A and B are shown apart, each in its own frame.
Chain A
Amino acid sequence: MKNRWIYVLLVLAIILPLARPLGLPVNPTRETEDLFRMVEGLPAGSVVYLAMDFDAGAIPEILPQAEAVFTHALLKDLKVILHGLSDQGVLIARDSLHPIAWSLGKAYGTDFINLGFKPGGGIVLRGMTADLWKTMGGVDIDGTQLAKFPLMQRLKRLDRSTVALIVDFNSGGSAMAYRNYVSEPTGIPLALGSCAVNFNVQMPFYRSGQYKAILNGLRGAAEYERLLGRPGKATSAMDAQSTSHALIIGLIVLGNVAYLLGGRRTDKPKR
């Protein structure tokens, strides 16, 4: 089979369900329910720290997760800190999450704040557990003095008494840095929003209790949207993921049938 036919089939498997949704139900898994329950159980006014540690390539999977959790936190009247060990994540948050907050009538600096990006990985996090203001250079993402924001008056450093929950939306290795340098030393509960491809890497730490919850790629976002009762981008994209997975499984079966019938000869790609 020529590659171009496989590509055409995949494009159709993605586009058709987006145009005409199948409406398949998304049943929440334990890993997602754990995060929903944690956010739901926090008293109003608690501070939730959302780490935007992903780049543009992970937007389709991770951003819907961040939007759902951010929306949930603001609806619960929690205070949200946005920060990133990735230079791209905080810029994506400014363009995508800030408008959500404004649409809910929340004020920047009082209900949420974006601290921006600092290079240095775990070292930055270690610094934030000692002196958050100094580590961030005393300014937010736009260079405005932190002293001007009411929310920051109660947040001088990352510790259990100031931050109730950290959710690290990551497409790489930042989860380990949050685990080693923040969650373990301070006791702040840590949950993850992970790419589906990294989910298996994070699972052992969820099972050991070091991560309290994990959102698994686009599906995790769709599950969270369902729990929140606000279907969004992730829910509408899950049908396309269903059909594309089914197509790939069908291709595996087809390839093996051809392999067995053809005397176990391998098929060379034709372009």
Chain B
Amino acid sequence: MAREIPATITVLAVLVVVFSRYFAVGAALDLTRVTDRWLMLTYAASVFVGVINLTRLHLDRLRRGKDTRSYDLVLLFVMYGYMALGFAQTNAGVTFRWVYNAVLVPLDSTMYSLLAFYIASASFRAFRVRSFEAALMMVAAALVMIGSVPLGDALSPAFPAARAWLMRVAQTAGFRGIQIGAGLGGLATAFRIFLGIERAHLRA
């Protein structure tokens, strides 16, 4: 039953969407409104599942006395503390907004900006002209980088022009191929799931 029920729900959901999208009667009945509502409820419920899982995982690690206890405590304190603050003040509360702006925003920005340092280090060590293809990629990357900033405009109009051509023509052509391939792959997987051939998500 653990496999049959999810498989049946999958098939029914696919049939509802296909019937609503491709048949006039289905469109008139607007059955996707029902599946939409269920999907939103599932999204909301998944938040609770995530909170419960996180709590269980970190409580378990605390009970076993692992050396990450301080991190486990911080996570649980922050998760439930901020949740409680949100319930008490709503997201318009002064303290709630202060914590968000003074803690989460700088932390998030810092994590993102650290990428610049990794890229700088990697550019010195990893970008090597080992082959013709590697050289081609390096030249293209350098042209896009210099053509994307005002320095490129100031040095020569050829840099922004080369960057524009690379972005609008060369990479667009390659990316379209990848996207069409991924789309067809997604369609094939959807058919396999619908027909019951692909059952990995049911742990079968």
Interface residue ranges, A against B (CB under 8 Å): 1, 3, 6-7, 9-10, 14, 24-27, 29-30, 55-60, 88, 91-92, 95, 119-121, 123-124, 126-127, 130, 141-143, 196, 199-201, 203-204, 207, 216, 219, 238-239, 241-249, 251-252, 254-256, 259-260, 264, 266-269
Q: Which residues of B contact A92 (CB under 8 A)?
A: 105
Q: Which residues of A contact B112 (CB under 8 A)?
A: 57-58, 60
> Beyond A123-B39, A266-B125, is A24–B168 a contact (Cβ under 8 Å)?
no
| Complex CA–CA separation, A31 to B9 (angstroms) | 44
| Complex CA–CA separation, A88 to B117 (angstroms) | 25
| Complex CA–CA separation, A242 to B152 (angstroms) | 8
A219–B179 CB distance below 8 A: no
A252–B123 CB distance below 8 A: yes
Q: Does B100 contact A (CB under 8 A)?
A: yes
What 3 pairs between A and B have smallest CB-CB spacing?
Answer: A56-B108, A24-B150, A57-B112
Q: Does B77 contact A (CB under 8 A)?
A: no
Q: Which residues of B contact A29 (CB under 8 A)?
A: 160, 164
Q: Does B154 contact A (CB under 8 A)?
A: yes
Q: Would you give the shortest CB distance from B37 to chain A, in whole angstroms? A: 8
Q: Which residues of A contact B124 (CB under 8 A)?
A: 1, 6, 251-252, 254-255, 267
Contact of B129 among A55, A58, A256 (CB under 8 A): A256
Q: Which residues of B contact A27 (CB under 8 A)?
A: 150, 153, 160
A95–B97 CB distance below 8 A: yes
Contact of A119 among B33, B44, B154 (CB under 8 A): B44
Q: Which residues of B contact A200 (CB under 8 A)?
A: 167, 171, 175
| Complex CA–CA separation, A203 to B172 (angstroms) | 6
Select the stretch in B55-63, B138-146, B187-195, B196-204 that faces chain A. Answer: B138-146
Q: Which residues of A contact B105 (CB under 8 A)?
A: 56, 59, 92
Beyond A56-B104, A121-B43, list 9 extra A-B contacts (CB 8 Å): A25-B150, A56-B108, A91-B91, A95-B101, A126-B36, A204-B179, A243-B151, A251-B120, A255-B128
| Complex CA–CA separation, A139 to B114 (angstroms) | 38
Q: Which residues of B contact A196 (CB under 8 A)?
A: 148
Q: Does B92 contact A (CB under 8 A)?
A: yes
| Complex CA–CA separation, A256 to B164 (angstroms) | 26
- B residues 57-95 touching A (CB-CB < 8 Å): 90-92
Q: List 25 A-B contacts (CB under 8 A).
A: A6-B120, A10-B120, A24-B150, A24-B153, A25-B150, A27-B160, A56-B104, A56-B107, A57-B111, A88-B104, A119-B40, A121-B43, A203-B167, A203-B168, A245-B146, A245-B148, A246-B146, A246-B149, A249-B145, A252-B142, A254-B124, A255-B124, A256-B138, A264-B128, A267-B125
> Nearest A residue to B154 by beta-carbon distance?
A24
